[in-house]
Amino acid sequence: MKYKISLFLLLIFVLNSCQNDDERRLAENAKEAKKNEKIFNNINKAWIFIDEPINEVSEKNAASWNEWRDFLEELGEKPRKTIGAFQKKSTAISKKALALNNNIPAEFNLPQIKSRISILITKVKMMDLFIHLSTIPDEKVTFLIGEINKELVSLERQMDKIVEKNKIPKEEGEADFLRMLDTTRAIPNQVKDPNLSIN
C-alpha cells in the first residue's frame, strides 16, 4: 500500500513539474517573439538605401555599367514581412556588391574607385554577416545601413571628380611629361660586370 501511495505522489509531482515547464516555455517563447518583433521593426525602419544615382555621372553609369545598375536595383527593392526576407535580400545585395569589381568602365578603373568599391563590399558583407547571426544585433545592422549609404555617396562623388578632371584640357607636352614620370615604363638599370666581356 505504501508503495502505491509513493508511486501516486511521484506521478503527481512529475505531472505538476511538466505543467510548470510548459508554462515557462510558453513565457520564454512569448518573450523571444516580442524581442524578434522589435528587431524586425528596427531593421525595417532603417532599411532605406540610396538606390538612385546622386549625380549625372552615376546616372550614365547606371545606363552603361550593368553591375552598377543591378546593384542599385537590388538596393531599391525593400523586403517585407519577415526577418528571413531581410536575410535573403542582404545575401542578394552582397552578391551584387561583389560583382561591382567586374567590368569596371575603363574611365573608372582606377585605384581610388577600386578602393571605394572594396570598402563598400566590406560594409555590405558585414551587414550580411550580422543579419544572419542567431541573435541579430539590430543596432549594428542599422548602423551599417547608414555606412553603406555614405560609401555609395563617396563612390559616386569620386566618379564625378574623375569625369570633371578628365574634362580639363591638358597643356602641350603634359602627356609626355606624365609618361616620363611613370616608373613602370622606365628602362631597368643593368649593372655591367667588368669580368664579362664580349669578344
118-135: per-residue pLDDT in tens?
Answer: 999 999 999 899 988 888
CA distance 4 to 14: 15
Q: Which residues contact 158 (CB under 8 A, 6 or more apart)?
A: 112, 113, 116
Q: What is the pLDDT of residue 185?
A: 61
- Overall pTM > 0.85: no
The closest alpha carbon to 142, from 118, 126, 120, 122, belongs to: 126
88-97, 106-115, 186-195 — which is least confidently predicted?
186-195
In this structure, what are the phi and psi dihedrals at residue 30, rounded to the nearest 5 degrees? Answer: -65, -40
Task: Please answer whether residues 147 and 123 qualify as being in contact, where contact means their C-beta atoms are separated by less than 8 angstroms.
Answer: yes
Give the rounded distance of the alpha carbon of 106 from its chain centre.
24
CA distance 74 to 95: 10
Mean pLDDT of all residues belonging to the chain: 79
Q: What is the pLDDT of residue 22?
A: 65
Q: What is the pLDDT of residue 95?
A: 92
Q: What is the pLDDT of residue 94?
A: 92
Cell 631597368 identifies what position?
Answer: 188
Over residues 2-35, the pLDDT tens digits come to 666 766 666 566 656 655 566 777 777 777 778 8
- Give the relative orientation of helices 66-76 and 56-64 as an angle to the nearest 10 degrees: 110
- Cα separation values, 49 from 13, 31, 70, 163, 197, Å: 57, 31, 14, 24, 69
- Cα separation values, 65 from 28, 29, 79, 119, 149, Å: 50, 48, 25, 19, 19
Over residues 50-82, the pLDDT tens digits come to 877 777 877 777 778 888 888 888 888 888 888
Average pLDDT for 92-103: 88
Q: What is the pLDDT of residue 167?
A: 76
Alpha helices in the chain (DSSP H): 2-46, 56-64, 66-76, 83-98, 111-131, 138-167, 174-181
